[in-house]
């Protein structure tokens, strides 16, 4: 599959990776295991024993090491074999498991898919907003999508679809499609956005506005960053003028990581600035949003994936509409980055 190798991808939500337990997850067509050392560091390793290729996920964690189920080889968190219970116990040269650089940040475990020496934590997306506020004001979600990750970027970048396929929680009432969205190229990111007045405010915000069920000014701004990390900053206000000083806001971080060419791990982190101390509302909100993606977006993008088969979007020759310049530019930027890697002969560890 074609993907950007020298890049950070979200491999898991922090809470998914535990001490003493193995999480098995396929990324970029490669099965990997994840566990957490006693010092709390998340480890990512190919899910394959170098002896007879039993999946390490069938084995177990012992302290900071992984033990293969089949013949008991032990590996430390660098992938080196530390114990061979066979014969004279000498460690064969090939008894090494590929590991992947990881960094834990913003409650997420980021994995570097490319050359380990190029892994620079400073290039992890600047999602500090996630950490800005109490735990009860931020929600984490995960679903699996049966489509290529770029189809999800198309979906999030062109929010005009919200006018059509979504229910009351993120209701936009037909206000986005008629607009030509603002749209700007920032080199390593692309930003698109809409502003509008909604007679019946969006479900997310309505109850918390000064005057529910009466018109409010809304905005939404989507920021894409290669390979496929996006922030949807959305808000509503009833204050006078054009400002958003008193706006109710949600910053929804959408991070798409390829599982295969035709399936994607979809992570979401939603941080809001209202009712931030309510754990129950917090959980309901993230679950409601994930439910909306699962029930309303997922069937459409999966069906599109089936229609496309192994053709590219260009080979399909789409009829583009007013909301498409954003997603089209994102695809172009990513394609250029991947082409450059191919030219430079950059190889992933996998």
What is the contact surface with a copy of itself in residues (CB under 8 A)? 31, 48, 50-55, 58, 69-73, 81, 84-89, 92-96, 154, 158, 160-161, 163-165, 174, 177-180, 299-300, 303-304, 307-308, 316-323
Please identify, among the stretches 23-31, 48-56, 193-201, 221-229, the one whose residues bind ligand FES according to the rule CB under 6 A.
48-56
Q: Which is nearer to ligand FES, 164 or 342 (CB)?
A: 164
> What is the C-alpha to C-alpha distance for residues 234 and 241, in angstroms, rounded to an integer?
18
* Tokens standing for residue 165: 């396929």
Among 233, 236, 302, 234, which residue's Cα sits nearest to residue 266? Answer: 302
- Measured from the CB atom, the residue of 129 and 308 that comes closer to ligand FES is 308
CA triplet 64, 111, 336: central angle to 5 degrees?
160
Q: Is 46 in the site for ligand FES (CB under 6 A)?
A: no
* Shortest Å distance, C-beta 320 to ligand FES: 10
Burial of 70 per CB tally in 10 Å (0-12, 13-18, 19+): middle
Task: Establish if 31 lies at the interface with ligand FES (CB under 6 A).
Answer: no
305 Cβ neighbours under 8 A, 6+ residues apart: 146, 147, 148, 151, 262
Binds ligand FES (CB under 6 A): choice among 71, 144, 186, 336: 71
> Among the candidate windows 51-59, 110-118, 197-205, 277-285, which touches ligand FES by CB under 6 A?
51-59
Is 163 one of the binding residues for ligand FES (CB under 6 A)?
no
308 and 124 in contact (C-beta within 8 Å)?
no
Token pair recorded at residue 115: 């050359």
- The CB-of-45 to ligand FES minimum distance in angstroms stands at 13
Strands (E), the chain: 8-13, 23-27, 30-36, 42-46, 60-62, 65-67, 74-75, 81-83, 99-100, 102-105, 108-112, 138-145, 182-185, 189-198, 216-225, 229-237, 248-260, 263-272
Q: Does the footprint of ligand FES cover residue 186 (CB under 6 A)?
A: no
**Minimum gap (Å) between residue 163 Cβ and a copy of itself:** 7
Residues 317-346 that bind ligand FES (CB under 6 A): none
Window of 35-43, 46-54, 254-262, 280-288 that interacts with ligand FES by CB under 6 A? 46-54
- CB-based contact 125:8 (threshold 8 Å): yes
Helix locations, 124-278, DSSP H: 149-157, 162-165, 203-206
Q: Is 54 in the site for ligand FES (CB under 6 A)?
A: yes
Q: Which of the 8 DSSP states describes residue 7?
A: S
Nearer to a copy of itself, 41 or 69 (CB): 69
Choose the one of a copy of itself, ligand FES, none that binds residue 95, judging by a C-beta under 5 to 8 angstroms depending on kind: a copy of itself
Query: Which of 1, 29, 40, 52 forms a contact with ligand FES (CB under 6 A)?
Result: 52
Q: Which does 55 bind (CB under 5 to 8 A by kind): ligand FES, a copy of itself, none?
A: a copy of itself
Crossing angle for the helix pair 325-344 and 149-157, to the nearest 10 degrees: 140
According to the binding rule CB under 6 A, does residue 70 interact with ligand FES?
yes
Question: Is 275 exposed, middle or buried, given 0-12, 13-18 or 19+ CB atoms closer than 10 A?
Answer: middle
- Rounded to a whole number of angstroms, the minimum distance from the CB of residue 201 to a copy of itself is 21
Under the criterion CB under 6 A, does residue 61 sit at the interface with ligand FES? no
Is residue 49 a contact residue for ligand FES (CB under 6 A)? Answer: yes
Residues in contact with ligand FES by the rule CB under 6 A: 49, 51-52, 54, 68, 70-73
């Amino acid at each position: 599959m074609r993907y950007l190798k020298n890049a950070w991808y979200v491999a898991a939500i922090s809470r998914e990776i535990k001490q003493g337990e193995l999480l098995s997850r396929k990324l970029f067509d490669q099965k990997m295991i994840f566990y957490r050392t006693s010092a709390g560091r998340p480890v990512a390793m190919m899910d394959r024993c170098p002896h007879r290729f039993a999946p390490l996920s069938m084995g177990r964690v012992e302290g900071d090491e992984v033990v293969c189920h089949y013949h008991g080889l032990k590996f430390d968190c660098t992938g080196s074999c530390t114990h061979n219970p066979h014969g004279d116990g000498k460690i064969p040269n090939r008894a090494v498991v590929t590991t992947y650089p990881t960094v834990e940040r913003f409650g997420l475990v980021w994995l570097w898919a490319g050359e380990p020496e190029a892994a620079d934590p400073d290039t992890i997306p600047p999602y500090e907003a996630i950490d800005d506020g109490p735990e009860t004001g931020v929600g984490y979600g995960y679903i699996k999508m049966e489509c290529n990750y770029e189809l999800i970027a198309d979906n999030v970048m062109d929010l005009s679809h919200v006018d059509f396929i979504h229910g009351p929680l993120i209701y936009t009432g037909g206000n986005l499609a008629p607009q030509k969205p603002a749209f700007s190229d920032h080199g390593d990111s692309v930003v698109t956005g809409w502003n509008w007045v909604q007679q019946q405010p969006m479900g997310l915000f309505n109850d918390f506005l000064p005057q529910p069920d009466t018109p409010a000014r809304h905005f939404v701004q989507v920021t894409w960053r290669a390979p496929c990390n996006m922030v949807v900053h959305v808000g509503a206000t009833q204050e006078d003028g054009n400002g958003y000083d008193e706006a109710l806001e949600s910053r929804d971080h959408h991070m798409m990581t390829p599982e295969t060419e035709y399936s994607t791990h979809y992570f979401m982190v939603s941080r809001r600035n209202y009712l931030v101390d309510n754990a129950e509302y917090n959980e309901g909100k993230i679950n409601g949003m994930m439910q909306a993606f699962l029930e309303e977006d997922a069937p459409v993008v999966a069906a599109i994936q089936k229609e496309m088969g192994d053709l590219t979007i260009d080979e399909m020759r789409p009829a583009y509409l007013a909301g498409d310049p954003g997603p089209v530019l994102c695809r172009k930027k990513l394609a250029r980055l991947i082409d450059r890697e191919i030219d430079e002969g950059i190889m992933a560890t996998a």
